[in-house]
Amino acid sequence: MVVLGSLSQIKPSPIPTNSSSSSSNHSQKGLLLTRRRAIVLGPSVVVASLLHFYNPISPQPSSHLALAQQQQEDELQQQEDRSVHLFQETSPSVVFIKDLEIDKSLKASPDAVFLSEDGNSKVEGTGSGFIWDKFGHIVTNYHVVAKLATDQTGLQRCKVYLVDARGNGFFSEGKIVGVDPAYDLAVLKVDVEGHELKPVVLGTSNGLHVGQSCFAIGNPYGYENTLTIGVVSGLGREIPSPDGKAIRGAIQTDAAINAGNSGGPLIDSYGHIIGVNTATFTRKGTGASSGVNFAIPVDTVVRTVPYLIVYGTPYRDRF
């Protein structure tokens, strides 16, 4: 650029008018100077053009990296927000179940003891379940309420802790409506007078794909409203049922399922239930989840529960 500026200040020498030869010589010198200026000017323009395209002051790659990092953080935040929203929408449909054995040495009636604190009764197990409808039907695993279903003493009770649609917590006694040990399913009924419940939204297990996200909500080890996140790890698995037969078509997931999760819902990314959390593969003596967990597919639940509500037994046992 400096060279171009210097050349632009050069002026040709004055041309005398009294000599034709001098005029000719000066014309040739002027033409030569002009050509030289053109020769110098040409490369300078090319260099200037190249300098224009290769500008060391242009935006650095770090700005692009910062933009990409910001976009990634926004996507992560959106993913977290979806998980939080899903839990807030679905957790009111999940219940906490306590299996109680009333102390038979007490003089008070078992019903009176039930309404009091658990100090007068023995907690024999805990589990999860979910609200099936607004009438107070609760779906859970059969093995969660097996002692109540087979009680011969009249001392077994089932205490169900719920949250209504307004967010008010309460508890009620769960009474057996129907059981299906072959599919490890049971239906309880609770008194919901004065409370409006929020039933689960039913999805379908038909069309699930390995790798899609899923969420388990339950009460592992008595810790209420626990959310674990994973993926569908496998389909069409076979797991044992309480009556010794096989439950086919089970969903495998790595969403953590531990003691107390049984009976709770397995949910897809839309908040629809796709299965009932039922079993986990554990190393002998540990009792801890190994990441290989199973749920009964919701399509099986949808076929079974209406018969349990109406008849108390599955369809196949009616004949």
Sheet holding 156-163, edge to edge: 169-173, 156-163, 94-102, 121-131, 137-140, 185-189, 175-180
184 among known catalytic residues: yes
Residue type, 71: Q
Residue with tokens 């107070």: 136
**How many other C-beta atoms are found inside a 10 Å radius of the C-beta of residue 95?**
28
Selected catalytic residue, list 121, 205, 233, 262: 262
> What does the alpha-carbon distance between residue 251 and residue 277 come to, in Å, rounded to a whole number?
9
Q: Report whether 156 contacts 103 (CB < 8 A).
A: no
Selected catalytic residue, list 99, 128, 137, 143: 143
143 among known catalytic residues: yes
Selected catalytic residue, list 184, 205, 233, 241: 184
Q: How many helices (H) and strands (E) does the chain have?
A: 6, 14
DSSP letters spanning 190-256 = ---TT----PPEE--STT--TT-EEEEEE-GGG-SSEEEEEEEEEEEEEEE-TTSSEEEEEEEE-S-
- Cα-Cα end-to-end distance for the chain: 101
The set of catalytic residues is 143, 184, 262
